[in-house]
Amino acid sequence: MATVSYSKSGTYSYSGSFSFGQGYSKTDSGEIVVARRDTGTTGSLKIAGLTYIPKNPREGEFISFIVNVTNSYSSSQKAKVILYIDKEKIGEASGEVGVNSWSTFKLKWKAKGGKHYYRVVIYRVNGDAEEYEDGETGELEVASLDQQFAVSLDVFPAELEGGGRVFFTVGLRNFDYNAIPVRGFVVDEDGAIIKNIEDRIPAKGVKNITFSYLVYGVGNHTFKLFLDNYDGEANGKGEEHWSKATIEVKPVGDVVASMSCYPTTVPLDSSTTCTVSFELKSPATVTLNLEEVDFGGKRVWPEGPSSVIVKEKTITLTPTNMQDDLTITITINDELANYYFGERPWLSTGSYKDRLVGYSYLVKAEFNESITITDAITVSSGDSSTIEDLETAVKVTGVGVSALEEVASHAGQLEIVASGMLGKVARVGSKFLGFVGS
């Protein structure tokens, strides 16, 4: 007979044979459940912050991973923090975390060029036993020795409930002994530019560019940064770099909401119908009231043109009716255009509705319970001369002085042109202009 110590909780199988006397034997098998010894405490060890420096590392440099660990147990706990790079264990650090407090752990790795995936895990140490408590993963790009500069895109917060404002940071690092001019943009998942960038990185220096943006729609939203030292276009010229950041928008409370507009490309004098769908995650009774509809950043319902029609502005979800939807129909006509532009012309020819052609517009629906959902449509026309006029009026190379900005300042269809509220995203052909960001 012997005793067995288990270092981790879980379910374990056993089997054995027992012999005694003159040829008597007995076999037995089964399972046992090993549980954590009850210490009279409840709580957890959690990662409260994970960063690494330098932010845009270069091959051969040592990267410091800084991990803040919080303790919600009623007694001091010993924590072990382990760092993995590309599934390979790099190192570990141990220490005490005080009651309802936090401690910082640091681990180092000598960087290798290329893209890498890291994972940090925390174990609670209780004697010889180690219990998994928390973990976090991510990826990082290490610049090669022949790169002149490196870029990164970060966002805070990376998780939202129902949507809201986030803050982006474009990180720039120059490895060269001369200042480097950079040009490029940040685009959303639909390819619309939300921020144009033109700046200089000081010699052997770093620079951060920050701007804010409003994000709506339940799900993951990925934004991409492009920068080069040539012309700001992804065409293989100059030294080009990409980076990305993802934001997760979680549903508010018990309701999952989404909106889909069809068709997404709408000819003049035609309509698109935006279907807003709701679903309860758990049995409950929720009443949802549509409070506002925006088109291209301008409020068009309940006060606005008759071009916008809402069918059943109130929906009640119950345990017996856990799914429902309502529709918003938008007709692209002169009445909508006149209301949108405030009857102020910005092209010398064409009707007001013609001025809507060739651009993408955000359709936003706001409900009570802090629910805001969006989709985007594009207004089209078969008249190629109108597109040529737009190409003349709006320069795709930047967001300097343009006819569209002039209209925005007079008509007010953009909620905030300079500081980040998404209104109208100008589109010419397959290219986008974004009047978003600060």
pLDDT above 60 (res 204): yes
pTM of the model: 0.59
Helix or strand or coil: residue 164? strand
Domain boundary among 117, 146, 175: 146
Cα 396 to Cα 198, 413, 417, 432, distances in angstroms: 14, 20, 17, 7
Domain that holds residue 209: 149-250
Beta carbons within 8 Å of 21's beta carbon, 6+ residues apart: none
Domain boundary among 146, 161, 194: 146
Among 159-173, 205-219, 383-397, the range scoring the smallest mean pLDDT is: 383-397
Q: Exposure of 128 by Cβ count < 10 A (0-12 exposed, 13-18 middle, 19+ buried)?
A: exposed
pLDDT above 90 (res 10): no
**pLDDT per residue over 80-117, tens digit each?**
999 999 999 999 999 999 998 999 999 999 999 999 99
Report the number of distinct structural domains present in the chain: 3
pLDDT above 50 (res 430): no
What CATH number does the domain containing 232 carry? Answer: 2.60.40.3880
Structure confidence at residue 159 (pLDDT):
86
Same domain? 130 vs 42: yes
Same domain? 334 vs 275: yes
Cα 296 to Cα 134, 221, 265, 376, distances in angstroms: 43, 20, 15, 9
Pinpoint the alpha helices (H) of 347-402: 384-393
CB 367 within 8 A of CB 291: yes
Q: Is the peptide bond before 54 cis (omega within 30 degrees of 0)?
A: yes
What is the Cα–Cα distance from 211 to 220, expressed in whole angstroms?
20
Do the strands 298-301 and 323-331 form a parallel or antiparallel pair, or are they unpaired?
unpaired
Same domain? 67 vs 168: no
Structure tokens at 92: 């570990």
CB 381 within 8 A of CB 344: no
Same domain? 55 vs 155: no
What CATH number does the domain containing 340 carry? Answer: 2.60.40.10
Structure tokens at 408: 């925005």
pLDDT above 60 (res 237): yes
Same domain? 100 vs 242: no
Cα-only R_g, the chain: 29
Q: Exposure of 374 by Cβ count < 10 A (0-12 exposed, 13-18 middle, 19+ buried)?
A: buried
Alpha-carbon dihedral sign for residues 227, 233, 235, 236: negative
pLDDT-derived band at 403, boundaries 50, 70, 90: very low
The segment with the largest mean pLDDT, out of 77-91, 207-221, 237-251, 403-417, is 77-91
Structure tokens at 349: 């020819």
